């Protein structure tokens, strides 16, 4: 007879029924992150690691991942990064070396930030 009272199973390592999944409408596919969780054991990092792997192999990010996009207005160069600092660093470096004007954009921004050499 099960006992519904005691909160005893809080550290049960098998209680990962809510395995995070990531889907990609461009690939029309969906993945469970069991492999990433096993390798990294941290939820958010698992999604991030998957997204980076997906980008590396397909050239785009999966659904529900909003990258920071640094895009040069003067030449075809640009990057997409999951971390804001990485995108801004690229933009600043590109502007510094080329004197090009670079925009940094993200889904959460009202409008893109412009990065120029001082
Ligand atoms: Zn995809
Ligand atoms: Zn440029």
Average pLDDT over the chain, rounded to an integer: 86
Residue 3 within a domain: no
Q: How far is the CA of 93 from the centre of ligand 1 (A)?
A: 29
**Do 82 and 65 touch, CB atoms closer than 8 A?**
yes
Same domain, 73 and 36: no
Residue 110 within a domain: yes
Same domain, 46 and 74: no
Same domain, 111 and 72: yes
Same domain, 85 and 109: yes
Same domain, 74 and 104: yes
Q: What is the extent of the structural domain holding 78? A: 68-115
Residue 6 within a domain: no
Number of the ligand closest to the Cα of 90: 2
pLDDT score of 5 = 58
Distance between first and last Cα of the chain: 72
Residue 4 within a domain: no
The structural domain count of the chain equals: 2
Question: How far is Cα 46 from Cα 52, in angstroms, rounded to an integer?
Answer: 10
Number of the ligand closest to the Cα of 93: 2
Q: How far is the CA of 24 from the centre of ligand 1 (A)?
A: 5
pLDDT digits (tens, 9 = 90+) for 41-88: 666 688 888 999 999 999 999 998 889 999 999 999 999 999 899 999
Q: How far is the CA of 22 from the centre of ligand 2 (A)?
A: 33
Q: How far is the CA of 66 from the centre of ligand 2 (A)?
A: 23
Among the residue ranges 37-41, 75-79, 100-104, 109-113, the one predicted with the least confidence is 37-41
pLDDT score of 48 = 87
Give the start-end residues of each E strand in 47-101.
68-72, 78-81
* Better-scored residue on pLDDT, 103 or 17: 103
């Amino acid at each position: 007879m099960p006992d519904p009272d005691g909160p005893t199973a809080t550290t049960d390592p098998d209680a990962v029924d809510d395995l995070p999944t990531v889907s990609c409408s461009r690939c029309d596919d969906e993945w469970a992150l069991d492999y990433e969780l096993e390798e990294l054991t941290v939820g958010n990092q698992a999604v991030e690691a998957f997204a980076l792997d997906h980008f590396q192999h397909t050239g785009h990010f999966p659904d529900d991942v909003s990258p920071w996009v640094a895009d040069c207005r003067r030449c075809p160069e640009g990057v997409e990064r999951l971390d804001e600092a990485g995108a801004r660093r690229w933009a600043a470096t590109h502007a510094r070396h080329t004197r090009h004007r670079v925009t940094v954009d993200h889904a959460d921004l009202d409008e893109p930030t412009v990065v120029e050499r001082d």
